[in-house]
Structure 1
Amino acid sequence: MKKTDQEYKQSLSDIEYRVTRQAATERPFTGKYWDHWDKGRYKCVCCDTPLFLSETKFDAGCGWPSYNAPEVASSIKEIRDTSHGMIRTEVRCAHCDAHLGHVFEDGPMPTGLRYCINSASLSFEPNSNTTPVKTDK
């Protein structure tokens, strides 16, 4: 069941609402997950859909959480984005249509993709034994 715009405004913080419902972008190096390396699962802040696993997270040096693959491909949808004079691929939650970020073709193998995601669009569910993990590009 999808929420109304008013329900999203009531359940999300200001930055979460602006990012997920209005396709805003948080400033780099400011989100809670850009330098977060605990093991677990990143989920949609709007609907709790699982999106990315910590095993696919890497340091892209861009200031936003970056992953080389979604946990399940069907959990996200990609949309051509021609805003701001650029041609990019926007990433949205397939369940609730929340704006997550963008995907680029400059990530590490095995996919070569970089899902550049706003922290404000994510919540985190730690594994039962959380040990910080960091992988380089």
Structure 2
Amino acid sequence: MSKSIDDIIKSIKQTKLFADRPIYSEERLQTIEKSIGFTFPEDYRSFVTRIEPELANFYFIDPHRSKKNADLVIFSRWNDDRFAFRKNGEIATILNDEETGHTWKNFTDWLLYVWGMSNRPVNPE
């Protein structure tokens, strides 16, 4: 059984690795959607309007269309990687304005991956 956004938020809150504010208000998301002509997936919307997790070297950024491929809406960065929504809700990894081939079928799957990678020990010994 896959996790829901509610499950992920609960898990993040248990770690105490989050800020006491959401990343975006619903109004801000609506403004961004109108400005870029894109409707965000519900799992993304639910997450970013409820919590801001602390992720190492990772940042949610104001969503914007890729300069090289207007079908992609970039919404976060992790070091040199960027992550973007495709029209179908899938998420693509972008490096140097090129898709790298690593994709996720939805925001929830992507978030589970990022949360796990961001919070793993640097030196497991």
Query: With structure 2 as the length reference, what TM-score do the two structures score?
Result: 0.30
User: Between Structure 1 and Structure 2, which shows a larger proportion of helix residues?
Assistant: 2
Higher RCO, 1 vs 2 (CA within 8 Å, ≥6 residues apart) = 1
